[in-house]
Amino acid sequence: MQGTGLSPIDAVRTPDDRFLNLPDFVWRPQYEDQLAGYEGLRMARIDEGPQDAERVFLCLHGQPSWGFLYRHMIPVFLETSARVVVPDLFGFGRSDKPIQDNCYTFTFHRQSLIELIETLDLKGITLVVQDWGGLLGLTIPPDMPDRFNRLLVMNTVLGLGGGSSEGFDAWRDFHRTHPDYDVAALFQKYVPGMSDEVAAAYAAPFPDARYRGGVRKFPSLVMTEPDMEGVDVSRRAAAWWKTDWSGDSFMAIGEADVLIPPRLMKRMHEILGVVRPPLMLPDAGHFVQETNGEQVARACLSAWEDVGHPI
């Protein structure tokens, strides 16, 4: 398999039978295997609703999740007659997974999303982000501003190189010392009360260590130091959101998040120039879509309707 135009990339593809009978996830994937610079690597996505819809919800997941995370939000967005596109990043979900950990870089993933947007010619985009979906996705609209007009942001940050939280430091250290941990058990730890069936669905893409390069590598890529890859583009994005963004934004904050606590999200509220107060979710942790996805989706749609932005 090829990637980034430099050299062949060895990758594995999770067997389809790992994704049978996923709870509340009925949508069939579509695939792109000719993204410019990534020829031969297959990226999966959910792509529902009218292909010519005026509005597109582009929903970006983080680590160690995949598009399954958005299953409570997809039906709400589809009710508006919009198109809903939920890609799996390379290394996650049904997308191909490079075996070598050093394939996973900020630029590798950011550019793959740019290529997907251009290949699908997505316009009228509502960008929906959380975790790494935000670290990557929030840097993209400044490079193609005419394609985006709304933002829904949940627990995430821009990687500005200014340090981290105690909770994130513990998360990163855990990944360093437990590189091939039980993904299902981790989700049940961070989302108390999660059923074994749902936890198994989150772990489905990762049968063994060969499939977990992205899961292992992403925490160490978070730009907590000023000299890390992606800091410069993230700082440029922060300036753009503050001064040049003319679209409408909505923020939801899981207040029980120990990885990205409310103080960091309130700082993001300022950085992104969000006008309306955030939706505060006292009992929600890091994976807001899992615990409060439908509530957040309906709240943002209601807010946009209320201020004269018809859905």
The per-residue pLDDT for 249 is 98
* Domain residue extents for the chain: 2-259+267-288
Helices (H), ranges, the chain: 74-78, 106-120, 132-137, 166-177, 183-190, 196-203, 213-221, 231-243, 262-271, 288-306
Q: Mean pLDDT across the stretch 104-123? A: 98
Residue 20 identity (one-letter amino acid) = L
What is the average pLDDT score of the chain? 94
Peptide bond into 15 cis (omega under 30): no
- Considering the candidates 47, 131, 248, 269, report the single residue annotated as catalytic: 131
Provide the 10 A C-beta neighbour count for residue 114: 18
Q: pLDDT band for position 310 (50/70/90)?
A: low
Percent of the chain at pLDDT above 70?
95
Q: Is 227 a catalytic residue?
A: no
Q: Flag whether pLDDT at 9 surpasses 90.
A: no
| Rounded average pLDDT over 79-103 | 96
pLDDT in tens, 49-63: 999 999 999 999 999
- 3-class SS letters over 129-166: ECCHHHHHHCCCHHHCHHHEEEEEECCCCCCCCCCCCH
Identified catalytic residue from 72, 109, 269, 286: 286
pLDDT tens digits, one per residue of 11-40: 999 999 999 999 999 999 999 999 999 998
- Name the active-site residue from 88, 96, 248, 257: 257
Is 131 an annotated catalytic residue? yes
Band the pLDDT of 305: cuts 50, 70, 90.
confident
Q: Is 4 helix (H, G, I), strand (E, B) or coil?
A: coil
pLDDT value, residue 309: 52
Q: 2-259+267-288 — its CATH code?
A: 3.40.50.1820
72 is catalytic: no
